[in-house]
Amino acid sequence: MSKPVETGQIIDIDILRYRPEEDKKPFTQTFEVPYTEDMSILEALQHIKDHLDSTISFRWSCRMAICGSCGLMVNGVPKLGCKAFLRDYYPKKISLEPLANFPIERDLVVVMDDFIKKLEEIKPYIIPEKTGDKKCLSEGPHKQTPEQMAKYKQFSMCINCGLCYAACPQYGLDNKFTGPAALALLARYNRDSRDFGEAQRMKIVNQEEGVWGCTFVGYCSVVCPKGVDPAAAIQLLKVESSKDYLIGMFKPE
Amino acid sequence: MSKRKPYTRELPSDWWMKQLFYTKYMIREGSSVFITLYSLILAWGVLRLSQGEVAFNGWMASLQNPLMIILHLIALALALYHTITWFSLAPKAVDLWIKGKRLDDKVIISGHYATFIIATILCLLIITL
Amino acid sequence: MSENKEKTYIRSHEPVFWGLFGAGGMLTAFLTPVMILITGLLIPLGIIDKGNFNYQTLHNFATTWFGAAVILVLVALPLWHTLHRIFHALHDLGVKRGRDWQMVFCYGFAFAVSVFVFTLLLQMF
Ligand code: SF4
Ligand code: FES
């Protein structure tokens, strides 16, 4: 790898730090990082860890916006550290905080348990027609036309980064709300022609904590790094839930 | 022993003032306060209408009060803001597919604006003609 | 979720209010600006003539079934939109106490005004 050109320029980065074994509450620490045009926020953090303070904690893996582990707040906006660049802020100071609306584990690392639980709860797998009615391998694959795939493809692009939860004030106000990514994932399975689990999943959708916790702030779709548009998924599910409500009035279970 | 001690941050109640996007959301929601007032003014007008010509003309005259004009100016600005936000979000609730492609957002939005302009002109004509 | 017990899910009645909110929002988006423009600005400021917005014409209009229905919808439906938003905005602003009462008050208000206008229109026949 070619070494970036040293320009002598410096950028200040404020980091909200929290060390559970010694701190009562988080505090801000400022670091001076040598600025280069092509440096990402994640690389800046790595520079800090390697050269300035090895105790700092943050998550990362792929460095290419696909693993979803490097989410953080950059000047109050949820972003992927590997997809945000210093050049978009320089020469102004950058402030980094752990993803909003999640408890802080340590420094920029948050507790994602609730998010993962929500993703699991919406039954994120294809449910065959009848339980136990599995198609035999010898019968060949489940076919799907490009049109059928187009119906859910966008909602299947999620990388579970959690930026949309950090952007959602409704989740921040009340974390019982199922939230954007999980509902988009739910829509993804409900809209899949190979899936027959809609009736089961509508029960989740129809709750107060389902789609009805959403007031269409719409910021989730703005911050999503993958163009999933969870707000649209929720809006479409609201329509489905309303239809389901009408049907439910005429044939109560 | 575990050293875990997750720190939970409370969402401050002024969260919507700290980020322009949220502030715009609150203005959108807040527009309803003024639209409510406007509906109440109209409801009052219906009451006066039911009480005869003198009462109704009194109501009409009260609308000329400068304070009323200012109130209506604010209400108009906010109602227009509601219209713009409503139209821009409208495509998200539409799931129309034509030949395997989702109907383009731009088509839906322009359709809304076209209807809006026609409706506005029609209303003006109905009153003045 | 290790045991195979199904969670109990409680269905929300929000679709009723959301439906009214949507209908009211649609109406408000398309017609409220021009309505405010006409009744609140152009006529009071004398920019346009009163035209059809005079006692006689309006009274005649309000005493037909069609006219009464139009007036009821134009005056009352937006309230089901706005009070729905106000109800949820209270939650956004962190007003946590008595959500049930807030709900009764908000939708009750929209309901009361709707009934008020409805009765007035009936009376005029
Ligand atoms: S929907 Fe978008 S923002 Fe939300 S978790 Fe998935 S990729 Fe991240
Ligand atoms: S490091 Fe994988 S998404 Fe950023």
Across the strands, what pairs with A97? A73
Flag whether pLDDT at C7 surpasses 90: no
Q: Determine how many CB atoms are found less than 10 A away from the CB of residue B123.
A: 17
Please give the pLDDT value at position C119.
Answer: 96
- Is the residue at B5 inside a domain? no
The third-level CATH classification (topology) of the domain covering C14-123 is: 3 helical TM bundles of succinate and fumarate reductases (1.20.1300)
Q: Do C11 and A246 touch (CB under 8 A)?
A: no
Mean pLDDT of C22-47: 96
Intervals of chain A under pLDDT 50: 1-2
Instruction: Please provide residue B16's backbone torsions phi and psi, each rounded to the nearest 5 degrees.
Output: -80, -5
Radius of gyration of chain C (CA): 20
Give residue-wise pLDDT tens across range A149-162. 999 999 999 999 99
CATH number of the structural domain spanning residue A235: 1.10.1060.10
Please give the pLDDT value at position C4.
Answer: 53
**Residue pair B8/A103 in contact by the 8 Å Cβ criterion:** yes
Mean pLDDT of B42-71: 96
Q: Do B6 and A101 touch (CB under 8 A)?
A: no
Flag whether pLDDT at C114 surpasses 80: yes
- Is the residue at B2 inside a domain? no
Residue numbers of the domain that contains B89: 18-93
The three-class DSSP label of residue C113 is helix
Flag whether pLDDT at C41 surpasses 60: yes
Nearest residue of B to residue C124 by CA position? Answer: B50
DSSP sequence for A53-92: -TT-----S-SSSSS---EEEETTEEEETTT-BGGGTTTS
Please give the pLDDT value at position A3.
Answer: 55
Flag whether pLDDT at B129 surpasses 90: no
The three-class DSSP label of residue C78 is helix
Does residue B43 sit in the same domain as residue B24? yes
Does residue A127 sit in the same domain as residue A20? no
3-state SS track over A143-173: CCCHHHHHHHHHHHCCCCCCHHHHHCHHHHH
CATH number of the structural domain spanning residue A60: 3.10.20.30
Residue numbers of the domain that contains A139: 113-250
Residue nearest atom 3 in ligand 2 by C-alpha distance = A65
- Please report residues of C whose CB lies closer than 8 A to that of B68: 40, 44
**Rounded to whole angstroms, how far apart are CA atoms B76 and B81?**
9
What is the share, in percent, of chain B residues with pLDDT greater than 90?
83
Does residue A123 sit in the same domain as residue A246? yes
Does residue B63 sit in the same domain as residue B103? no
Q: Which of B38, B57, B86 sits opposite C36 (nearest CB)?
A: B38
Name every residue whose Cβ is closer than 8 Å to that of residue A40 and which is 6 or more positions away in sequence. A63, A81, A82, A83, A84, A85, A86
Please give the pLDDT value at position A129.
Answer: 76
- Is the residue at B98 inside a domain? yes
Which pTM was predicted?
Answer: 0.92
Mean pLDDT of B59-81: 97
Nearest residue of B to residue C71 by CA position? Answer: B46
Does residue A50 sit in the same domain as residue A117? no
Radius of gyration of chain A (CA): 22
Instruction: Please provide residue A11's backbone torsions phi and psi, each rounded to the nearest 5 degrees.
Output: -125, 140
Query: Could you tell me which residue, A7 or B56, shows the higher pLDDT?
Result: B56
Please give the pLDDT value at position C1.
Answer: 44
Q: What is the mean pLDDT of chain C?
A: 92
Of the listed ligands, the closest to the CA of A59 is: 2
Please give the pLDDT value at position A138.
Answer: 79
Ligand 2 centroid to residue A105 C-alpha, Å: 19
| Domain end position, chosen among A110, A143, A165 | A110
Please give the pLDDT value at position A132.
Answer: 59
Please give the pLDDT value at position C2.
Answer: 46
**Residue pair A12/A90 in contact by the 8 Å Cβ criterion:** no
Q: Which of A21, A76, A236 sits opposite B19 (nearest CB)?
A: A76
Q: Outline where chain A has alpha helix (H).
A: 41-47, 113-121, 146-153, 163-167, 169-173, 180-190, 198-205, 219-223, 230-250
Mean pLDDT of C39-59: 91
Flag whether pLDDT at B122 surpasses 90: yes
CATH number of the structural domain spanning residue B37: 1.20.1300.10
Q: At what angle do helices A198-205 and A230-250 cross, to 10 degrees?
A: 100
Instruction: Please provide residue C100's backbone torsions phi and psi, each rounded to the nearest 5 degrees.
Output: -60, -45
Give residue-wise pLDDT tens across range C85-107. 999 999 999 898 889 999 999 99
